[in-house]
Amino acid sequence: MPSSRVTQADVARHAGVSRTTVSFVLSGREGMRISGEARQRILGAAQELGYRPNLTAQSLRTRKTYTIGLVSDSVASTHYAGEMIRGALEAALEKDHLLYFAETGDDPAVEEKLLQGMLDRQVDGMIHAAMSTRRSRPAGQSGGHRTVLLNCLDESGEFASVVPDEFAAGEQAVRLLLEAGHRDGIHVVGGHHFTRGKPEGVHAGHERMRGIEAATAAAGVELAGVVECDWSEPEHGYRATRSLLGADPAPTALICCNDRLAFGAYQALRDAGLDIPADLSVVSFDDSELASWLRPALTSIALPHHELGRRAVSLLLSDDLRPAVHRIPMPVRRRESISSPRR
Amino acid sequence: MPSSRVTQADVARHAGVSRTTVSFVLSGREGMRISGEARQRILGAAQELGYRPNLTAQSLRTRKTYTIGLVSDSVASTHYAGEMIRGALEAALEKDHLLYFAETGDDPAVEEKLLQGMLDRQVDGMIHAAMSTRRSRPAGQSGGHRTVLLNCLDESGEFASVVPDEFAAGEQAVRLLLEAGHRDGIHVVGGHHFTRGKPEGVHAGHERMRGIEAATAAAGVELAGVVECDWSEPEHGYRATRSLLGADPAPTALICCNDRLAFGAYQALRDAGLDIPADLSVVSFDDSELASWLRPALTSIALPHHELGRRAVSLLLSDDLRPAVHRIPMPVRRRESISSPRR
């Protein structure tokens, strides 16, 4: 690739001036008297030959590379987080920055290697992203690199982070059901994601549950039940929903902790001969494509992936990198899965 | 970030030797006599201070940056192609390369800008990726950059490309049904993706249909029907399936052109009170997560995204960049949606 590159020497030859003159004109530096005519000739020659500045050389002088490193655990391969990357790419492009992108697969040795690789290439800043919101300490953070955490919280209190407002989303899910007239029959499918393999649950689970409990308490309503289960497959939502169908008080509404669980709940309710929303209302979180594909279409509270990505990059390129948690609102996508309870 | 960087000058000061000596030792160059003791002292100082080579400076000398540019139309935001990026990242990491990643949103001006940005940063090679397989000519291709096309074909015949073997997958779908005993009642849902907005269809549609027709012809079987529709939403599969339920000969099996259409077909068959696979068998393409989530789990012929990504990077970093089409096999994921026909 380098062999085909037009150099400043080529431009100088073409314009019939010295290499130094070309360098001054093309880098826009001051301090040398160059005639308007020579300047025009040089710019004309540069354009004609298709000259492009060598940013690698330039960055040695300016100490800016206009690049950002984005390291994630497994964002690229997680279907619902692609929008996060798209948001980051958009914001970077608007400011003429390019993005190095890499995945660690949650392996600290790989993370260290990737981080070092990006720092060796003099990135102007780093974004550490996580697939699902969690507490995290970026590896190898020393020496005050510009850093923003994306979709994860900072254990050390040193960094700015951008996360979805899961607590408010939990409150919102309850409010949607209360507005429709539900009170005693509200069950939660998923809960904190407490499972044998993950006894501490997941961050989104804790926050959503806190919001759900705050909103029911504020309305003087008691949750009818919470079935804790793994959030990763519809199968778990299917089983959890089957387990609660005989509950007392009888369920009138389900809050599913994500759309996959809601998909499983739909399958279980259909198998039980129950109609959504006439017999049971369902509300969910994430607003993945599944939500609009289900029949009836599922009301879901959206993960603001695109906005998360944009904000992380904007923050990184801003002058304000104080350690603070930036919470992005999760918008409600109202569809057809909620109605008034039968009783 | 640069302010915190340890330089060779720091190492020289710490080791009590000249900057030139440090430079020779750390870059592994020959041609200067340096004592073993001094060499050890320098390496020790470099390690102690956490010195990392300045790859930006190094790359000016070696003309290699160990970076690859990956530009796609909208891969990142397309749920089922994340694995392609993961495959590319893996292969790049194995060879110590980092990846610039960017999306064009199918805008030629953005594509040109991104491409130029990567070339300005002296990438060692470029991968042009497309979300869905199609014919494509990368923008701004001149001057013999190292280039591989990923999931798209090359109109110009200048480049190596890596694509899924869609034709063989079409044949395979038919064979699965023939093996189960289906003959006259095989319908296709989706077809070439001929729609009002896309009268020319999509590449995968043409190839899969060619394969389907080749395999039926080879077995002396005639397709019972093809419903052309948009592939993007289950809703289209739902309507297409409803439209063919009264067909003659009566359908015994559906070949759905992707999992979304199969999802819609499942919904339509359920609404019609039909059982899968007892009343109708269903086979699909792509093997997205949906396929394993559906009840009964859907047999689907997988897009080999991960392998596509790996191969594109391996090819780019290999010595063989001859213009050729590398077709990657699409593996069958057998599940529970195919059985013998009732009649």
> In terms of pLDDT, which residue wins out, A338 or B50?
A338
**Nearest alpha carbon to residue A122 among B73, B209, B65:** B65
Structure confidence at residue A1 (pLDDT): 41
| CB proximity B317 to A under 8 Å | no
Chain-chain contact of B122 with A295 (C-beta, under 8 angstroms) = no
Coil vs helix vs strand at A104: coil
Cα–Cα dist A337/A280, whole Å: 8
In a domain, B59, yes or no: no
- A2 versus A223: the higher-pLDDT residue is A223
User: Do B295 and B177 belong together in one domain?
Assistant: yes
Residue B142 CB: number of other CB atoms within 10 A? 7
Classify residue A337: in a domain, yes or no: no
The span from the CA of A102 to the CA of A129, in Å, is: 10
User: Residue A27: what pLDDT?
Assistant: 76
Mean pLDDT within A213-224 = 97
- Kindly indicate the confidence band of residue A2, based on its pLDDT and cuts at 50, 70 and 90: very low
Pairing of β B299-302 and β B332-333: antiparallel
Sign of the CA dihedral with A316 first, then A317, A320, and A325 last: negative
ipTM of the complex, rounded to two decimals: 0.82
Higher pLDDT, B138 or A262: A262
Query: Do B172 and B160 belong together in one domain?
Result: no
Residue B161 sits in the same domain as residue B283: no
Domain count, chain A: 3
Q: Is B336 part of any domain?
A: no
Q: What is the DSSP string of B260-281?
A: HHHHHHHHHHHHTT--TTTT-E
Contacts of B267 in chain A (CB under 8 A): 295
B60 to A63: CB separation less than 8 angstroms, yes or no:
no
* A37-46, A76-85, B208-217: range with lowest mean pLDDT: A76-85
Q: Measured between beta carbons, which residues in chain A are less than 8 angstroms from residue B53?
A: 120
Are B28 and B45 contained in the same domain?
Answer: yes
pTM listed for this prediction:
0.84
On whether residue A152 sits in a domain, the answer given is: yes
pLDDT at B217: 97
Which residues in A lie closer than 8 A to residue B78 (C-beta atoms)?
82
Same domain, yes or no: B42 and B109 = no
**pLDDT for the residue numbered B272:** 95
Return the CATH number at A320: 3.40.50.2300
CB under 8 Å to A43, separation ≥6 — which residues?
A25
- Give the pLDDT of residue A78: 64
* pLDDT, position A117: 87
Find residues 210-249 of chain A whose CB sits inside 8 Å of chain B: 233-235, 238
Q: What is the pLDDT of residues A264-274, one digit of tens each?
A: 999 999 999 99
Q: Is residue B337 part of a domain?
A: no
Interchain contact A143–B (C-beta under 8 A): yes
Half-sphere exposure for A158 (CA within 13 Å, toward CB): 11
Name the residue type at position B87. G
pLDDT at B75: 64
Instruction: With a cut of 70, say whether residue A79 has pLDDT above it.
Output: no
Tokens 């994921």, residue located: B333
- From the list A118, A131, A130, the residue with the least C-alpha distance to A154 is A130
* Residue of chain B whose Cα is closest to the Cα of A52: B120
Distance (Å) from the alpha carbon of A222 to chain B's nearest alpha carbon: 32
Contact (CB<8Å) A59/B59: no
CB pair distance less than 8 Å for A56 and B53: no
Phi/psi at A152 (nearest 5 deg)?
-150, 155
Residues of A in contact with B289 (CB under 8 A): 79
**Count of C-beta atoms within a 10 Å radius of residue B153:** 18
Closest CA of chain A from B53, distance in Å: 7
Please tell me which of the candidates A77, A78, A98 has its beta carbon nearest to residue B117: A98
Indicate if B170 and B284 belong to the same structural domain: yes
CATH, residue A43? 1.10.260.40
Tell me the C-alpha distance between A99 and A252, whole Å: 48
- Please name the helix (run of DSSP H) or strand (run of DSSP E) that holds residue A130, with its range, or none: strand A125-136
pLDDT at B78: 64
CB-based contacts of A162: which residues, under 8 Å, 6+ apart? A148, A149, A150, A151, A308, A311, A312, A315, A326, A328
- In 3D, which of B301, B270, B303, B281 has the Cα closest to residue B131? B303
- A215 pLDDT more than 80: yes
Distance (Å) from the alpha carbon of B25 to chain A's nearest alpha carbon: 18
* Residue range A122-169, pLDDT digits in tens: 899 999 998 766 666 665 554 568 999 999 887 788 899 999 999 999
pLDDT of residue B343: 59
Q: Both A128 and A182 in a single domain? A: no
B residues 80-109 lying closer than 8 A (beta carbon) to A: 80, 82-83, 85-86, 89, 93, 96, 98-103
Cis peptide before B341 (omega within 30 of 0): no
Clarify whether residues B101 and B48 are in a common domain.
no
Q: Which of A279, A289, A239, A304 is nearest to A259 (CA)?
A: A289
pLDDT score recorded for residue B181:
98
Between chains, do A93 and B116 touch, taking CB under 8 Å as contact? Answer: no
Asked whether the beta carbons of residue A86 and residue B74 sit closer than 8 angstroms, the reply is yes
Q: Does B267 touch chain A (CB under 8 A)?
A: yes
Q: How many CB atoms lie within 10 A of CB B214?
A: 15
The confidence score (pLDDT) of residue A77 equals 55
Please answer whether residues A99 and B101 qualify as being in contact, where contact means their C-beta atoms are separated by less than 8 angstroms: yes
- Judge contact between A69 and A115, C-beta under 8 A: yes
Are A57 and B60 contacting, i.e. CB atoms less than 8 angstroms apart? yes
> Among all chains, which residue has been given the structure tokens 């509404």?
A253
Q: A45: which residues sit within 8 A by CB, 6+ positions away?
A: A11, A14, A15, A51
Separation of alpha carbons B252 and B340, rounded Å: 9
| CA dist., res. A134 & res. A155, Å (int) | 10
**Residues sharing a CB contact under 8 Å with residue B190, sequence separation 6 or more, in sequence order:** B205, B227, B228, B229, B231, B236, B237, B240, B256, B257, B258, B261
Asked if residue B174 and residue B128 are part of one domain, the reply reads: no
A61 within some domain: no
Before B164, cis peptide (omega within 30)? no
Domain annotation covers residue B334: no
Q: What is the mean pLDDT, run by run of 10 residues, along chain B of 343 residues?
A: 69 90 80 84 88 72 85 71 87 92 86 86 90 62 75 85 96 98 97 90 94 98 96 96 90 97 97 96 95 97 95 93 94 98 80
A296 touches chain B (CB under 8 A): no
Give the CA-trace dihedral at B30, B33, B38, B39, to 10 degrees.
Answer: 20
Interface contact flag, B89 A99, Cβ < 8 Å = no
Q: How far B99 CA lies from chain A's nearest CA (Å)?
A: 6
* Coil/strand/helix, residue A329: coil
Alpha-carbon distance of B153 to B202, in angstroms, equals: 12
Residues A101 and A79 in one domain: yes
**Domain shared by B26 and B122, yes or no:** no
Predicted local confidence at residue A180, as pLDDT = 98
* Residues B131 and B74: beta-carbon distance below 8 Å: yes
**A146 in Cβ contact with A323 (< 8 Å):** no
Determine the Cα–Cα distance for residues A20 and A58; give it in Å rounded to an integer: 15
Calpha distance A88→A75 (Å, rounded): 12
Domain that holds residue B251: 166-303
Residues forming a β-bridge with A103 = A72
What are φ and ψ of residue B275, in 5° steps?
Answer: -100, 135
Contacts of residue B54 in chain A, CB cutoff 8 Å?
A: 120, 122
- Tell me whether residue A272 is in a domain: yes
Query: Distance between CA atoms of A65 and A59, rounded to whole angstroms?
Result: 5
- Helix (H/G/I), strand (E/B), else coil: A30: coil
Check B103 against A86: CB less than 8 A apart.
Answer: yes
Calpha distance B291→B304 (Å, rounded): 15
**Among partner residues A98, A119, A263, which is closest to B293 by beta-carbon distance?**
A263
Put simply, the chain B residues between 5 and 34 with a CB less than 8 A from any chain A CB are: 5
Cβ <8 Å between A52 and B83: no
Residue A32 has pLDDT above 60, yes or no: yes
Lowest mean pLDDT among A4-13, A96-105, B273-282, B305-314: A4-13
Residues of chain B in contact with residue A146, where contact means CB-CB under 8 angstroms, are 1
Interface of B with A in 187-206 (CB under 8 A): none
Whether omega for the bond prior to residue A249 falls within 30 degrees of 0, making it cis, is yes
pLDDT in tens, A310-322: 999 999 999 888 9
Q: What digits encode the pLDDT tens for the residues A267-315?
A: 999 999 999 999 999 999 999 999 999 999 999 999 999 999 999 999 9
Q: How far apart are CA B131 and CA B246, in angstroms?
A: 35
Q: Do B77 and A82 touch (CB under 8 A)?
A: yes
A281 and A227 within one domain: yes
Q: What is the DSSP letter of B312?
A: H
Q: Assess A114–B contact: CB distance below 8 Å, yes or no.
A: yes
